[in-house]
Amino acid sequence: MIPAADAWGPFAPDLDTAEHTARCRCLRAVVHLTTGPRGETATRLLHAAERDPDALSEAARALNALDACDKRHVWASYAKLAAPERTTR
């Protein structure tokens, strides 16, 4: 089970399959690009979670186990990509 504090991105409840897959892929790319080999476990588990939702809790644990600086970079980058676009008028 995913704790409420971790219910963001691909860990949010009630996502349809396509959105779940898209969020896993986006987060996996962010983790890979911001952490490199330090995030290998998280990227592997996020890849598995694209097809198997049971792997999500392990992926969340792997993300939470990252160094604090790595987590901040991952969260900030993912939040920027996942934020709704503002329209300029």
* Distance separating alpha carbons of residues 89 and 80, to the nearest angstrom: 21
Specify the pLDDT at position 3.
63
Residue 28 lies in a domain: yes
- Determine, yes or no, domain membership for 37: yes
pLDDT score recorded for residue 31 = 98
SS (H, E, C) 41-65: HHHHHHHHHHHCHHHHHHHHHHHHC
| Structural domain count, the chain | 1
pLDDT tens for 16-56 read 999 999 999 999 999 999 999 999 999 999 999 999 988 99
In this predicted structure, the answer to whether residue 89 has a pLDDT above a threshold of 70 is no
Asked, for residue 47, whether it belongs to a domain, the answer is yes
Q: What is the mean pLDDT of the chain?
A: 90
Looking only at Cα atoms, what is the longest distance across the chain?
Answer: 43
The whole-number pLDDT of residue 1 equals 59
Asked whether the beta carbons of 27 and 9 are under 8 A apart, the reply is yes
